[in-house]
Structure 1
Amino acid sequence: MTDLLTALLATCDERGDAPALRSGALRLTYRELGGRIRATAGGLRAAGLEPGDRVLFSVRPEPAGVVLALGIVAAGGTVVFADPGAGPELFAARLALTGPRWAAAESLLYAASAFRATRWAARRRGLLLPAFDRLPVRHVYAGRWLPGVPRGAHAAGRLAAGPTMSTVDDAPDREALIVFTSGTTAAPRAVVHTRGSLGAGLSVLAGRCALGPADVVHTDQLMLGLPALVAGALWTMPPYGLAASAEPVRYASGLRGVTHTFCVPADFAAVLDAIAAGRVPAPTGLRSVMLGGAPVPPPLLRRATALLPGVELLTVYGMTEIVPVAAATAEEKLAHDGPGDLAGTALPGVRVRTAPDGELLVRGPNLCRGYLGEPPLAEHATGDLARLDGDRIVLVGRKKDMIIRGRVNIYPGLYEPAIARLDGVAQAVLVGLPTGLAGDEKVVLAIVPDGPAEPVVATVRAALPALIDAGALPDEIVAVAAVPVTGRTAKPDREALRRMLERQCASR
């Protein structure tokens, strides 16, 4: 099994003075990148970090953060991605579960959480910051020193400039990354990846999207950035460390000379808006756009195909526990006119099957070790309902999103893609609203119209009987300006949509 760290460092040694990382004015060659990773690892070891130590990590996706994270893993530590906005109770529960001995955060985060005034300023913006400066751990800060950084904290920049660790062991079975996923304050859940499972993920992706030294990858996502580095390509990162939707013109301008990029659908839509409005020219030389992290609606693919002719649009299906699982091109997804959403063909090395209730089960060399504190995983139950069409995976819904109307179980994912393919529909989401009868729900179809609402609603209402099963026909069709989203990948927030629709119904 490939060890992510030793594979990357071998590329650094081989590529030498070739460009590796670029962000704004910062340029790192492979020699410099490998040197900084080894120096960070050596500095952490000298400061007392021991193999197996876990490090709470709250540093934005930028070159310094990449070097620090890889240096932690090279030193034998585990990066524990920590969301500082999770709220004090959930943060405390996650802290108790992982038992970190170190914390690595930006100096701005330490400053913002250390003082009452800055905590209140963050709270007014909806961010309930834990007191990072008072965590009973050793500290590393990224960026320039600011008041609030704990006394004795180590500067990440100084670690990267010190003596290097002479050797990095090849240890594919060593714990490397912990990412929190579904779970509650009472029972948080954390996915554990090893250096080997992460390395295997790169190999699986390479089976569908081969990268090489001549390629240039533009993204702030590790999913594509790390494979680019292992392949010897140039990874360019947005200098502002924010999602593309925050500054779409700036992000699109960064695509000049780029061959590959990765975006979540909501961010990519903002980039397409900038190109369509003429605020930035369509990128030349771009060969592939990878989309993942959330469902990719057909209108987005049609629009991208028109604005970026000749560019391969590749949708990637996966989850925290195992990524990637499957991939499909825009042409394959748009040609799929049956029920459900085509996730694509399982990638090399990944094995899939369905349980008796239709839930998709997946396994492969890129499967995580398991959940922290639980037995190792041999197979992952995705929570997605699917059917296997030959070697292709077609998603038909989420187990938890099932709507019950009378004696009929309705899986929204089975029908939403077909509805979204109708002219004038930008997005379609089916939800169930309580009727007051035990175990029964009213089915409401929320659509985001691409134009005047009334004629689009009328067109959808007329088309539905021939498009979806009679048992799934909605009781009501409602046009909304936008569907609420959740998380960095901007997935539809069905619970928030339910609340919004309930308020609309109550106000009538």
Structure 2
Amino acid sequence: MTAADLLASPFATLPDLIRAHAAERGAKTAIADERRALTYAELDRLVDRVAAGLQRDGVPQGAAVAIVAYPSVEQAAVFLGTVRAGCLATPIAPSATPDQIAAMIRDSGAPLAFADAANAAAAPDAVCLEELDTWLPPDDARPAPVEIAPEDGFNIIYSSGTTGTPKGIVQSHAMRWQHLGRNSAAGFGDAVTMVATPLYSNTTLVTFLPTLGWGGAAVLMAKFDARRFLELAEKHRATHAMLVPVQYQRIMAVPDFDRFDLSSFRLKTCTSAPFKPELKADVLARWPGLLIEYYGMTEGGGTCVLNCNAHPDKLHTVGQPLDGHDIRLIDDEGREVAPGEMGEVVGRSAAMMNGYHGREGATREAEWYDGEGRRYIRHGDVGRFDEDGFLILLDRKKDMIITGGFNIYPSDLEAVLLRHPAVADATVVGVPSEAWGETPVGFYVSRDPGANIDAVLAWFNGQVGKTQRLSALHQVDELPRSAIGKVLKRELRDRLLGQTA
């Protein structure tokens, strides 16, 4: 089948689309990093070799394959080869600690892992991506064909975590197919997409995968730098980009931003964290092309979309639900709220996770069912719809902190802090940050009033991954609590913000 036939069909797989593009436009660039580029023909052959290597090594269909690396052509090829073999691509954050990385690999059950040289120490038994050629079978190797059903797993994305094991979110081929299909009007067929976020993030995959599915070119950045992004975008005549708000903030703050030629841009998207209205307005004013904000979850559920160009008066919202996406608001008892009232956001669509890997209880906690038994995913946010059906987010039901586009769970950080012998009680809150959007700040009650706060902070930050480090730590006599013993985090946050105002 041609790529057009596959894209018009009820269901197809991304590996089949890459195969079709290789046959029809084999000389076209598919993927590039700052060291090398691959055409669709070259990418297809490399993906075949990876899949054949997995089969040679006895990795069964349906197994996870862990990948611990920064974005590169090799990382992307291993990801796609894993999927072609019918296995679950399982990218893992290099920012996690070695213990966390090992725990996620164990939890996934991956019989084989890959890592780049920068992360080899964290995954000592992994195949080194810089030495991938020595692991790969011969250039003409082809994998045995595998049958892939829509409900089969495509990938596992791990949520942020510090203690124990983060939850692995299993996403199916059907879910990824929905992501491809909903981008039919986005112009990815001739796109040059800047990929400036890591491949272990769903934020990245919802743009990276459609780029390849529709036959565009993806330009990978190993690490984000605002000026370098602008240089590469100008050099490659980039047309598309998915960025998180803190990246937009840093890009727009480049002193000579206006000298870069960004006229090739047609579509810029944003997701993963609160996007300030004034920042949206600045992007609209100075950066050509459409600006679209997506609101949704890695777990799937409902997605809202805000076309900022078309609705400059709605920049304080996250837009309206996509066609086919049902978003409702419920109260603490699980009942739908009246129109105009605020409630917890739950959503339903064809793009929803299978569940959390090996965590049936956590999966059930993330679900809500309406009166007709239809399954929704809890978003964890509180919001309300305005009179035009645009969703306004008011607060988060959970205390999750979003820093630089990454989800940080305070309870995980609190458990680490409580392990320190000088800490009797502790909590962590998120506060606004110019650099990261939000940043975690800790409060603790000391067992030893003479303990050095800086030493406790240094100890803590040595126990966790880079994205989970506390930006500050404060000692208090006691933590404020409600009548039922719940720590009043808002009071601590307000107290801190009042001191810095």
TM-score (norm 1): 0.68
Q: From the superposition, tell whether residues 353 and 60 of structure 1 become closer, same or farther in structure 2 (CA, over 3 Å).
A: same
Counterpart-to-counterpart distance in 2, 1:344 and 1:492? 32
- CA drift of 1:23 comes to 2.9
- CA drift of 1:314 comes to 1.0
Matches within 5 A, 1:111-126: 113=121
When structure 1 is superposed on structure 2, of 490-499 and 70-79 the one drifting more is 490-499
Matches within 5 A, 1:316-331: 316-322=294-300, 325-331=303-309
Residue identity opposite 2:291 in structure 1: L
1:286 is matched with 265
1:304 counterpart (273, 283, 307): 283
Q: From the superposition, tell whether residues 89 and 179 of structure 1 become closer, same or farther in structure 2 (CA, over 3 Å).
A: same
Residue identity opposite 1:56 in structure 2: A
- CA drift of 1:500 comes to 9.0
Counterpart-to-counterpart distance in 2, 1:28 and 1:60? 18
Query: What is the CA deviation profile of residues 233-257 of structure 1, one whole-angstrom value per residue up to 9, with x for unaligned ones?
Result: 222233xx11143734434434x52
2:237 is matched with 257
Q: From the superposition, tell whether residues 107 and 101 of structure 1 become closer, same or farther in structure 2 (CA, over 3 Å).
A: same
Q: Which runs of 5+ in 1 are unaligned?
A: 114-129, 145-153, 403-411, 414-442, 449-480
Counterpart-to-counterpart distance in 2, 1:35 and 1:270? 38
Counterpart-to-counterpart distance in 2, 1:306 and 1:490? 31
1:79 is matched with 89
1:343 is matched with 318
- CA drift of 1:188 comes to 3.1
- CA drift of 1:18 comes to 2.7
- Does residue 176 (structure 1) correspond to residue 154 (structure 2)? The answer is yes
2:408 is matched with none
Give % identity.
23
- Does residue 104 (structure 1) correspond to residue 104 (structure 2)? The answer is no
- CA drift of 1:278 comes to 5.2
3-state SS of the aligned residue for 1:400? coil
1:295 counterpart (271, 274, 296): 274
- CA drift of 1:483 comes to 6.0
> How many residues get paired?
397
- CA drift of 1:105 comes to 0.5
2:352 counterpart (367, 384, 396): 367
3-state SS of the aligned residue for 1:236? strand
Counterpart-to-counterpart distance in 1, 2:465 and 2:277? 21
1:245 is matched with 226
Residue identity opposite 1:77 in structure 2: C
3-state SS of the aligned residue for 2:252? helix
- CA drift of 1:388 comes to 2.9
Matches within 5 A, 1:421-440: none
3-state SS of the aligned residue for 1:34? helix
Q: From the superposition, tell whether residues 323 and 24 of structure 1 become closer, same or farther in structure 2 (CA, over 3 Å).
A: farther
3-state SS of the aligned residue for 1:343? coil
When structure 1 is superposed on structure 2, of 73-82 and 165-174 the one drifting more is 165-174
- CA drift of 1:491 comes to 11
Residue identity opposite 1:485 in structure 2: T
- Does residue 352 (structure 1) correspond to residue 331 (structure 2)? The answer is no
1:485 is matched with 439
Residue identity opposite 2:77 in structure 1: V
- CA drift of 1:143 comes to 0.8
Paired residues of 1:354 and 1:386 also in contact (CA < 8 A): yes
Residue identity opposite 1:397 in structure 2: D
3-state SS of the aligned residue for 1:31? helix
Matches within 5 A, 1:389-404: 389=386, 390-401=388-399
Counterpart-to-counterpart distance in 2, 1:251 and 1:324? 33
Counterpart-to-counterpart distance in 2, 1:446 and 1:362? 27
1:266 counterpart (235, 246, 249): 246
Query: What is the CA deviation profile of residues 397-438 of structure 1, one whole-angstrom value per residue up to 9, with x for unaligned ones?
Result: 101359xxxxxxxxx99xxxxxxxxxxxxxxxxxxxxxxxxx
1:227 is matched with 210
TM-score (norm 2): 0.68
Query: What is the CA deviation profile of residues 274-321 of structure 1, one whole-angstrom value per residue up to 9, with x for unaligned ones?
Result: 3x525842312211111222211122122222212x421111112211
Residue identity opposite 2:142 in structure 1: T
Counterpart-to-counterpart distance in 2, 1:298 and 1:491? 26
Counterpart-to-counterpart distance in 2, 1:489 and 1:328? 31
Residue identity opposite 1:273 in structure 2: A
- CA drift of 1:370 comes to 0.7
Query: What is the CA deviation profile of residues 375-410 of structure 1, one whole-angstrom value per residue up to 9, with x for unaligned ones?
Result: 4663210101122345432212101359xxxxxxxx
- CA drift of 1:350 comes to 1.9
When structure 1 is superposed on structure 2, of 280-289 and 178-187 the one drifting more is 178-187
Q: From the superposition, tell whether residues 7 and 362 of structure 1 become closer, same or farther in structure 2 (CA, over 3 Å).
A: farther
Q: From the superposition, tell whether residues 246 and 322 of structure 1 become closer, same or farther in structure 2 (CA, over 3 Å).
A: farther
Residue identity opposite 1:229 in structure 2: L
2:67 is matched with 57
Q: From the superposition, tell whether residues 502 and 93 of structure 1 become closer, same or farther in structure 2 (CA, over 3 Å).
A: farther
Q: From the superposition, tell whether residues 382 and 401 of structure 1 become closer, same or farther in structure 2 (CA, over 3 Å).
A: same
1:215 is matched with 191
Q: Which runs of 5+ in 2 are unaligned?
A: 1-10, 197-203, 333-342, 368-374, 403-428, 441-463, 475-488
Q: From the superposition, tell whether residues 236 and 105 of structure 1 become closer, same or farther in structure 2 (CA, over 3 Å).
A: same
Paired residues of 1:141 and 1:155 also in contact (CA < 8 A): no
Paired residues of 1:175 and 1:193 also in contact (CA < 8 A): yes
3-state SS of the aligned residue for 1:322? coil
Residue identity opposite 1:379 in structure 2: Y
Paired residues of 2:21 and 2:215 also in contact (CA < 8 A): yes
Residue identity opposite 1:396 in structure 2: L
Query: What is the CA deviation profile of residues 124-154 of structure 1, one whole-angstrom value per residue up to 9, with x for unaligned ones?
Result: xxxxxx4x21x5xxx322014xxxxxxxxx6
Paired residues of 1:333 and 1:342 also in contact (CA < 8 A): no
- CA drift of 1:67 comes to 0.8
Q: From the superposition, tell whether residues 2 and 368 of structure 1 become closer, same or farther in structure 2 (CA, over 3 Å).
A: farther
Residue identity opposite 2:238 in structure 1: V
- CA drift of 1:372 comes to 1.2
